[in-house]
Structure 1
Amino acid sequence: MTNPAERLVDLLDLEQIEVNIFRGASPQESLQRVFGGQVAGQALVAAGRTVESDRPVHSLHSYFLRPGSPGVPIVYQVERVRDGRSFTTRRVTAVQQGKTIFNLTASFHHPEEGSIEHQLPPHHVPHPDTLPKVADEIREHLGALPEALERMARRQPFDIRYVNRLRWTPEELKGADPRSAVWMRAVGPLGDDPLVHTCALTYASDMTLLDAVRIPVEPLWGMRGFDMASLDHAMWFHRPFRADEWFLYDQESPIAHGGRGLARGRIYDLEGRLLVSVVQEGLFRPYPAQQPRPEQPGRPSDPAPKN
């Protein structure tokens, strides 16, 4: 059996079925809808396959339009919007069962020397080797992982370690700032294709970003009080990186209001270099009292439910 990192590489290896048209697998899982990071990562692969390799992606902007169905292939249609001397633009539409579920616009830039250089430094945080894996931290609190979480942990392609210990009680949540930080890296090698690393990190960027919105309200793991869904997702890629090496994902939520929460993230490497900036808005709706709540957290940024 392949390990989760190899399965992630396979998931990002789209089948080209026509010029500018690609098909991606959608694993049959217990989730009610396809994980948004999967759709974003696959869409970026489709865009990148139509661009010269000397032009890495520098930004993407995307919207989740409908929930995707697990187990059903997704078709990605690429529009070659512009091929300029320095920049290339692609628009991707993800279609499943005849309906558009996601769209993405990505811009690619031929590397050049800059006349201005600066960045915000990361906060001082512990080294990832000194922190417990999130699954171990949950086991410590609960005594054992629930079966659903155990299955999720076995197929998780990223090692996730929270900088601050998880909060479990109302007392711990009270007064908590809407901030979260995690160290992450793929659980195994991802090969040497830069596009795979970029799209793998795009996948990972959707896993924990909305944590910052939830932290003042409820524990991040366990029974959820809210149905959550990503509405949009934007990324800016500043430097080359490898997604199978440690990166720090520093996340904050400047506002939550009107059923929506905004989250911002900065991704750094071990040397403190800023690699990627991320912004996402999520939809948060409380479960009705009579509706059974999921016993596992799920991924907070699955494609948006129908309104």
Structure 2
Amino acid sequence: MSTTPSRSDPTESAPTSSIFTAAVTLSETEPEHFDIAYLATTQPCPWPKAYGGDLVAAAAAAVMRTVPDGATGKSLQSMHSYFMRPADIGAEVRYEVELLRDGRGYSTRQVRAFQNGKPIYVALASFAAGEPGATFAPGVPDAPEPETLPSSAEYLSGRQGGTMTEESKAYWGGGRSFDMRHVDGPVYLEVEGERVPHQALWIRPYDALRPVPGLTRPQRDLAALAYVCDYTILEPILRVLDLPWAQPGLVTASLDHAMWFHRIPEEGDTDGWLLYAQEAGHIDAGRGLGHGRFFTRDGLHLATVAQEGMVRAA
């Protein structure tokens, strides 16, 4: 099967957010193991396996479809995931949801993803109605305005190095649905900036996010955060180890992933710039732990991410 980056509509001449939309568009099917089942198709990428955020976002869409936010007042609060096997690219994945509990204030779901008859991903998801109480959130880090920073496409234009192919450059520069601008300099061809265990980047969809069948606007926006978070969460680890993505022999893989959704994005939040502040938590035994926080441009803390990944360098 082809792994050539696609924008879903070959007539579109500029990058769009349509790949994300396709990733979280599910169709209902008969369950084989649990209560409810959906099918989704993994999206193109220039690697041997599907993008991990593709699975997380599709799983989030699957569980959110079983807890209608308008009817219950509950929204996705957290997801805790394990990646067990790589997923084929451009192929169907079956997401089966088990309805574990529906209480007055909280609901719990389990979702397992199957491909080629084997489980490839599993997650537990919690939904909460919320209640009045004290609030605290970390301050947003200082960062230059996103308009002053080069896009990935602008940075990669005319550059060569390592294992970065033209196909990879097209994907990193316009095939991920989101414009990503590194505050500290990217780590595509070389590690730019200091070899420190932290970085930040501005993220925005190439165009306004499209409606997703079966999801409300707030649910779609939470799925968008789940989708985009995995692209760069291991980069602080690569930065401190001085390993760019194009390093020959570099192999990375998502092992487990946790995400907490602190507030529902307001209308337009995820169509605008979000600051994604990240740091390396620990590196040892061929694994690295990354942390990340999403902030709106006016400083509201939307979500927190933690992920451990395998990092192998030849």
Would you call these one fold, judging by a TM-score over 0.5? yes
Q: 2:113 aligns with which of 91, 94, 112?
A: 94
Residue identity over aligned pairs, in percent, reads 33
What letter matches 1:147 in structure 2? Answer: E
Q: 2:202 aligns with which of 183, 201, 218?
A: 183
Q: Secondary structure at the match of 1:80?
A: strand
Alignment deviations for residues 128-184 of structure 1 (CA, whole Å, 9 cap, x no partner): 1111102212226549x84123431332200000011236668x67x6211111100
User: Separation in 2 of the partners of 1:259 and 1:218?
Assistant: 15
Q: Which residue of 2 aligns with 1:45?
A: 61
Contact 1:269/1:275, CA 8 A, preserved across alignment:
yes
Residue 25 of structure 1 deviates from its aligned partner by: 1.1
Q: 2:302 aligns with which of 236, 256, 275?
A: 275
User: Separation in 2 of the partners of 1:138 and 1:67?
Assistant: 28
What letter matches 1:272 in structure 2? Answer: G
Alignment deviations for residues 58-94 of structure 1 (CA, whole Å, 9 cap, x no partner): 1110000011111220000000000000001000000
Contact 2:45/2:51, CA 8 A, preserved across alignment:
no
Say if 2:260 is the partner of 1:236: yes
Residue 29 of structure 1 deviates from its aligned partner by: 4.7
User: Separation in 1 of the partners of 2:313 and 2:174?
Assistant: 29
User: Separation in 2 of the partners of 1:26 and 1:89?
Assistant: 25
- Higher mean displacement: 151-160 or 31-40: 151-160
Alignment deviations for residues 193-236 of structure 1 (CA, whole Å, 9 cap, x no partner): 21111111101000100000010223534334421001001011
Total equivalences in the alignment? 283
Q: Secondary structure at the match of 2:271?
A: coil
What letter matches 1:247 in structure 2? Answer: L
Q: Which residue of 2 aligns with 1:125?
A: 143
Q: 1:217 aligns with which of 232, 241, 250?
A: 241
User: Separation in 1 of the partners of 2:44 and 2:186?
Assistant: 30
Specify every segment of 5 or more residues in structure 1 that has no aligned partner in the other structure, as ranges: 288-307
Q: Secondary structure at the match of 2:244?
A: coil
Q: Which residue of 1 aligns with 2:39?
A: 23
Say if 2:213 is the partner of 1:201: no
Please show how residues 3-14 of structure 1 align to structure 2 within 5 Å.
Answer: 4-14=16-26
Q: Which residue of 2 aligns with 1:301?
A: none
Say if 2:58 is the partner of 1:58: no
Q: Which residue of 2 aligns with 1:296?
A: none
Q: Which residue of 2 aligns with 1:286?
A: 313
- Higher mean displacement: 186-195 or 224-233: 186-195
- Higher mean displacement: 1-10 or 153-162: 1-10
Residue 55 of structure 1 deviates from its aligned partner by: 1.3
Alignment deviations for residues 21-57 of structure 1 (CA, whole Å, 9 cap, x no partner): 0000123554211111000100111100110213110
Contact 2:190/2:246, CA 8 A, preserved across alignment:
no
Contact 1:166/1:219, CA 8 A, preserved across alignment:
no
User: Separation in 1 of the partners of 2:176 and 2:244?
Assistant: 17
Q: Secondary structure at the match of 1:235?
A: strand
Q: Which residue of 2 aligns with 1:163?
A: 183
Q: Which residue of 2 aligns with 1:151?
A: 170
TM-score by length of 2: 0.84
Aligned pair in 2 of structure 1 residues 109, 179: CA closer, same or farther (>3 Å)? same
User: Separation in 2 of the partners of 1:228 and 1:99?
Assistant: 22
Contact 2:282/2:289, CA 8 A, preserved across alignment:
yes
Contact 2:197/2:279, CA 8 A, preserved across alignment:
yes
Contact 1:181/1:249, CA 8 A, preserved across alignment:
yes
User: Separation in 2 of the partners of 1:285 and 1:187?
Assistant: 32
Runs of 4+ deviating beyond 3 Å: 27-30, 140-143, 166-170
TM-score by length of 1: 0.86
Contact 1:210/1:282, CA 8 A, preserved across alignment:
yes
Residue 245 of structure 1 deviates from its aligned partner by: 1.6
What letter matches 1:42 in structure 2? Answer: A
Specify every segment of 5 or more residues in structure 2 that has no aligned partner in the other structure, as ranges: 1-8, 212-216
